């Protein structure tokens, strides 16, 4: 972790706040003017050179001022950002997303995504979350003819998931029953992700009498995870036009790349599933390359998993440029999810 002295922190904070406000490279004169005590532009330039060595600022052109890097935004969020409760008029707009949540779930996801996108000014996607947050109560594998099988996952919230998969190993009914019993006995209380990790860890140890069972179960669990992503469940995407309004995406090539990235619903679904658990208690924020599914995109990604009526869950992700009002977005998304929880049967 980068450790800065007080002067460097003061300059960096002033630079980021100026850039967030105006979107223009920040020069030493402006920073000297904003510094809380008298300081020369030459001193500011020396501090900026040090910050550049730390990869916290960069200079778009030789004669231009500096702009913050992804690393600088992370420093800003971790040290100075405070979530802001939405102003009454914004809260009223966000609250319109609650309309219809107890009716058609698919239509509601699209409606809520559109509202969040419009109010906070960016792209919003939403996805029903199932196996990623469900914990195992019972697992069964049932043959469907010689080359297919169905996996039946019974979760802790009463959820029952069915996935049809290829039975390329030719496992017969007795073997499938034994695998289901083994998983239920050894991995009750685990999510699908946890079960896969424990299986892989066990397989790296010494072989024992249960080695073959673990190996077969690990293969089936991998197929289950692949099927979850490959099925590409309903994914609501709203707000691409919001980013078109921003200078970071005025370049047609960059905007085209952005549109293409958001057409890959499989990657977006994997993103929401991968971070569903981490965003179940608080807003999870990824900056730029921290997002493993969109690492080349200069985007900030704020995610939150929420509880819905009927013991269902949905994961929401808001995308905006790195030059983002982080306090407004994170505070707004946190407030919105808390208000949503009050209208549901339970909290996440």
290 and 252 share one domain:
yes
Tell me: do 141 and 105 sit in the same domain: no
CATH number of the domain that residue 192 is part of: 3.30.390.60
CA distance 282 to 276: 11
The whole-number pLDDT of residue 224 equals: 76
Say if 348 falls within a structural domain.
Answer: no
Q: Do residues 121 and 255 both lie within one domain? A: yes
Q: What range does the domain containing 153 cover? A: 136-230
For the chain, the C-alpha Rg in angstroms (whole number) is: 24
Number of structural domains, the chain?
3
As a whole number of angstroms, the distance between CA 245 and CA 236 comes to 21
Same-domain status, 66 and 203: no
pLDDT of residue 230: 47
Question: What confidence score (pLDDT) does residue 192 get?
Answer: 78
Q: What is the pLDDT of residue 63?
A: 72
Q: Is the dihedral of CA 56, 60, 61, 65 positive or negative?
A: negative
The span from the CA of 67 to the CA of 64, in Å, is: 9
pLDDT at 129: 74
Which residues does 176 contact at the CB level (< 8 Å), separation at least 6?
141, 142, 143, 149
1 lies in some domain: no
Domain-located, residue 324: yes
User: Over its length of 348 residues, how does the chain's per-residue pLDDT go in tens digits?
Assistant: 678 999 999 999 999 999 999 889 999 989 988 888 888 889 999 999 999 999 999 998 877 789 999 999 999 999 999 999 999 999 999 999 998 877 777 788 889 999 999 999 999 999 887 655 668 888 988 888 778 888 888 877 666 667 778 888 888 888 889 999 999 998 998 887 788 788 877 777 655 567 778 888 888 887 776 655 444 457 888 988 787 777 778 777 888 888 888 888 878 888 888 888 889 889 999 999 999 999 989 999 999 999 887 667 889 999 999 999 999 999 999 999 999 888 765 434
- Is 173 among the domain residues? yes
Task: Note whether 176 and 125 are same-domain residues.
Answer: no
Structure tokens at 281: 């208690």
pLDDT at 291: 94
Q: What is the CATH number of the domain that holds 41?
A: 1.10.10.10
The Cα 323–Cα 131 span in angstroms is 34
Task: State the CB neighbour count (10 A cutoff) for residue 115.
Answer: 20
pLDDT recorded at residue 217: 86
Q: Please indicate, yes or no, if residue 182 is contained in any of the structural domains.
A: yes
Give the model's pLDDT for residue 1: 64
Same domain, 150 and 120: no
pLDDT for residue 118: 92
User: Which of these, 263, 235, 261, 264, lies nearest to 249 by C-alpha position?
Assistant: 261
Please provide residue 128's backbone torsions phi and psi, each rounded to the nearest 5 degrees. -65, 140
| Domain identity same for 141 and 40 | no
Shared domain for 47 and 180, answered yes or no, is: no
pLDDT, tens digit, 9 for 90 and up, residues 177-234: 999 999 999 899 888 778 878 887 777 765 556 777 888 888 888 777 665 544 445 7
* Residues 122 and 24 occupy one common structural domain: no
Separation between Cα atoms, residue 97 and residue 343, nearest integer Å: 12
Q: In this structure, what CATH number is given to the domain that contains residue 305?
A: 3.30.450.40
pTM over 0.85: no
């Amino acid at each position: 972790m980068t450790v800065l002295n007080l002067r460097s922190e003061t300059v960096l904070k002033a630079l980021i706040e100026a850039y967030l406000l105006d979107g223009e490279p920040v020069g030493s004169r402006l920073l000297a003017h904003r510094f809380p005590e008298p300081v020369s532009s030459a001193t500011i330039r020396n501090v900026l050179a040090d910050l550049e060595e730390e990869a916290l600022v960069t200079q778009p052109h030789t004669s231009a001022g500096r702009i913050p890097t992804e690393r600088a935004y992370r420093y800003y969020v971790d040290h100075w950002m405070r979530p802001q409760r939405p102003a009454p008029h914004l809260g009223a707009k966000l609250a319109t997303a609650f309309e219809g949540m107890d009716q058609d779930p698919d239509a509601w996801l699209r409606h809520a995504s559109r509202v969040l996108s419009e109010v906070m000014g960016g792209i919003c996607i939403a996805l029903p979350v199932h196996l990623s947050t469900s914990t195992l109560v019972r697992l069964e594998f049932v043959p469907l003819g010689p080359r297919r099988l169905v996996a039946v996952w019974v979760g802790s919230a009463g959820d029952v998931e069915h996935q049809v998969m290829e039975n390329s190993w030719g496992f017969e009914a007795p073997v499938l029953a034994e695998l289901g019993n083994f998983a239920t006995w050894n991995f009750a209380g685990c999510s699908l992700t946890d079960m896969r990790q424990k299986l892989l860890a066990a397989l790296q140890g010494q072989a024992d009498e249960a080695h073959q069972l673990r190996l077969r179960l690990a293969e089936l669990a991998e197929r289950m995870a692949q099927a979850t992503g490959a099925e590409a469940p309903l994914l609501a995407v709203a707000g691409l036009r919001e980013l078109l309004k921003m200078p970071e995406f005025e370049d047609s090539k960059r905007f085209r790349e952005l549109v293409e990235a958001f057409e890959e619903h499989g990657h977006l679904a994997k993103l929401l599933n991968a971070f569903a658990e981490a965003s179940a208690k608080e807003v999870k924020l990824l900056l730029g390359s921290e997002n493993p599914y969109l690492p080349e995109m200069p985007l900030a990604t704020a995610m939150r998993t929420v509880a819905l009526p009927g013991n269902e869950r949905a994961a929401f992700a808001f995308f905006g440029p790195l030059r983002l009002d982080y306090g407004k977005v994170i505070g707004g998304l946190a407030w919105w999810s808390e208000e949503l929880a009050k209208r549901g049967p339970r909290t996440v």
